[in-house]
Amino acid sequence: MANQLRIATRNSGFIDPESIESYIAVGGYQALGKCLAEMKSADVIELMKNSGLRGRGGAGFPTGVKWGFAAKYASNTKYVVCNADEGDPGAFMDRAVLEGDPHSVLEAMAIGGYAIGGNKGTIYIRAEYPLAIKRLKMAIEQAKEMGLLGDNIMGTDFSFDLELKYGAGAFVCGEETALINSMEGNRGEPYTKPPFPAEAGYWDKPTIVNNVETLANIPAIIMKGADWFNKIGTETSKGTKVFCICGKINNVGLIEVPMGTTLQEVIFEIGGGIPHGKQFKAVQTGGPSGGALTYKDLDAPIDYENLIARQSMMGSGGMIVMDEDDCMVAVSKFFLDFTMDETCGKCTPCRIGSKRLYEMLDKITKGLGTEEDIEKMRSLAVNIKDTALCGLGQTMPNPVLSTLRVFEDEYRAHVQDKKCPAGVCTELLEFTVVAEKCVGCTLCAKVCPVNCISGKPKEVHVIDQSACIKCGACLDKCKFDAIIKQ
């Protein structure tokens, strides 16, 4: 795929991820060596601040600033945590980095430890990533054998040990405080901040939690310098971003592009546009917490601020493309279904609010919604955002609010006309035979699972609407385009 710039994924696919020699051959562990030999901890933090690197896990917090906070708290133990929970549906950016270049993450964690004055690292990785886990384990062993992890790294007095902890696949455990709870053996529920983990995190010790992709950038930044990184991207968002583009797009997959690349470039140049000559309808950025952007936003240079200004967000890099055949009410319902399942239940607005929102969406897709439901949804969504404890609840209503804003006419069609303009919501569909086109071949009647099509051979057939279960089998079977779905 063209127009890409690979920093976080620079080695994936080029080196043997199971061989430390292969990583060393492309300059691996030189950044750690440089930090230990030539830089004080404060220099490393300064360099990270100057680079402008911001967290790729979703919040976009400046990495150097976070490291600076943890460095300033005095403690005999400090932790570096790699967040490899990656729970967004359809996202696999972090998995690709861990499977393709595990040493870059280990090296960055050791650099983080050196910078904040910490000697212990933990990678919290979901157990559903067996290949990434296998390669991380191998990489840790290899690095220990070579004296690149463990005691007295490279003959210095800096020691850094790493362990893995496995997540059971709960989306909320990617939230840093829930992750810490889970690592400590508690329920994976978020807690209120402050104190932030940088002050009191894992076992109440100063802890930096960083995303896999954030970490993978770090060795390259140390070696090439803050200015090099700072020149890539936009005014406020430096470097590149890895995106996972999927849905109705020709080139599905993982891409890494400089911040500031437009959605137009990502979807139509790199992604190759929409399959089967269909019209682009929307793109959901930010996963289940994000919002839908339309053709009006295609010129938007992708960065943290621009996406927020257009009522969506960067998130961790999921991008789901939708075409004219997608119903935006059904899309909102899909995301709500996910977050409703994933709420930890600790606070009422999120636990109960998600259910009520889902129920209203469900009613609308079944043709039972009212005008009042639309207004109730809007007000409940705003309430949940304002009162939920953690980022999951605070962002959960975003898909509803953004589709209500941009595609309100679609909601109204479901509620007022009892129609789904995209032809997705089954309960609102009607299959009918166009008399002028029907030649009476009987094929539709033969495939109908509930025998609700009647007609003699060579005569126009008729569908009994009260018995039709809207399976679509007749539509697929008719060779004369005589059956329509409305």
Per CB under 6 A, residues contacting ligand FMN are: 55-59, 61, 83, 85-87, 171-172, 174-176, 209-211, 214, 316, 390-392
Would you say 238 and 312 are in contact if contact means Cβ atoms under 8 Å apart? no
Would you say 142 and 20 are in contact if contact means Cβ atoms under 8 Å apart? yes
Which residue among 4, 19, 77, 442 contacts ligand SF4 (CB under 6 A)? 442
| Residues in 186-215 at the binding interface with ligand SF4, rule: CB under 6 A | 189-190
Looking at the chain, the number of H-run helices and the number of E-run strands are 20, 13
- Provide the residue count of the chain: 486
In this structure, what token pair is assigned to residue 167?
């997540």
Would you say 206 and 79 are in contact if contact means Cβ atoms under 8 Å apart? yes
Residue whose pair of structure tokens reads 């005008």 in the numeric block: 371
Which residue's CB is nearer to ligand SF4, number 34 or number 470? Answer: 470
Whole-number minimum distance, CB 180 to ligand FMN, in Å? 10
Question: Does residue 336 bind ligand SF4 (CB under 6 A)?
Answer: no
Packed helices 102-116 and 130-145: angle between N→C axes, nearest 10 degrees: 60
Residue 93 has phi, psi (to 5 degrees) of -65, -50
Which residue's CB is nearer to ligand SF4, number 153 or number 173? Answer: 173
Quick one: what does residue 55 bind among ligand FMN, ligand SF4, none, with the CB cut-off 5 to 8 Å set by partner type?
ligand FMN
Whole-number minimum distance, CB 84 to ligand FMN, in Å? 7
Question: Does residue 453 bind ligand SF4 (CB under 6 A)?
Answer: yes
Quick one: what does residue 345 bind among ligand FMN, ligand SF4, none, with the CB cut-off 5 to 8 Å set by partner type?
ligand SF4
Quick note: the x/- pattern for ligand SF4 over 389-428, rule CB under 6 A, is xx-xx-----------------------------------
Segment lying near ligand SF4 (by CB under 6 A), choices 103-111, 202-210, 247-255, 337-345: 337-345
Q: Which is nearest to 49 in space by CA: 256, 238, 241?
A: 238
Quick one: what does residue 86 bind among ligand SF4, ligand FMN, none, with the CB cut-off 5 to 8 Å set by partner type?
ligand FMN
Whole-number minimum distance, CB 313 to ligand FMN, in Å? 11
Cα–Cα dist 161/417, whole Å:
63
Quick note: the x/- pattern for ligand SF4 over 277-316, rule CB under 6 A, is ----------------------------------------
> Cis ω on the peptide bond leading into residue 194 (within 30° of 0)?
yes
Cα–Cα dist 333/20, whole Å:
46
Q: Which is nearest to 219 in space by CA: 57, 358, 377, 106?
A: 106
Quick one: what does residue 87 bind among ligand FMN, ligand SF4, none, with the CB cut-off 5 to 8 Å set by partner type?
ligand FMN
Residue 451 DSSP code: -
Cα–Cα dist 45/41, whole Å:
7
Across 69-218, where does the E strand assignment appear? Answer: 79-84, 120-126, 161-167, 207-211
Which residue's CB is nearer to ligand FMN, number 106 or number 448? Answer: 106
Question: Does residue 471 bind ligand SF4 (CB under 6 A)?
Answer: yes
Which residue's CB is nearer to ligand FMN, number 92 or number 358? Answer: 92
Whole-number minimum distance, CB 182 to ligand FMN, in Å? 12
Which residue's CB is nearer to ligand FMN, number 20 or number 350? Answer: 350
Whole-number minimum distance, CB 57 to ligand SF4, in Å? 16
Quick one: what does residue 142 bind among ligand SF4, ligand FMN, none, with the CB cut-off 5 to 8 Å set by partner type?
none
Cα–Cα dist 303/481, whole Å:
46
Which residue's CB is nearer to ligand FMN, number 298 or number 352? Answer: 352
Question: Does residue 473 bind ligand SF4 (CB under 6 A)?
Answer: yes
Question: Does residue 470 bind ligand SF4 (CB under 6 A)?
Answer: yes
Would you say 201 and 81 are in contact if contact means Cβ atoms under 8 Å apart? yes
Would you say 257 and 3 are in contact if contact means Cβ atoms under 8 Å apart? yes
Cα–Cα dist 6/11, whole Å:
8
Cα–Cα dist 263/310, whole Å:
12
Cα–Cα dist 294/267, whole Å:
12
Question: Does residue 380 bind ligand SF4 (CB under 6 A)?
Answer: no
For binding to ligand SF4 (CB under 6 A), which residues are involved? Answer: 172, 189-190, 343-347, 350-351, 388-390, 392-393, 431, 433, 438-444, 447-448, 450, 452-453, 461, 463, 468-474, 477-478, 480, 482-483
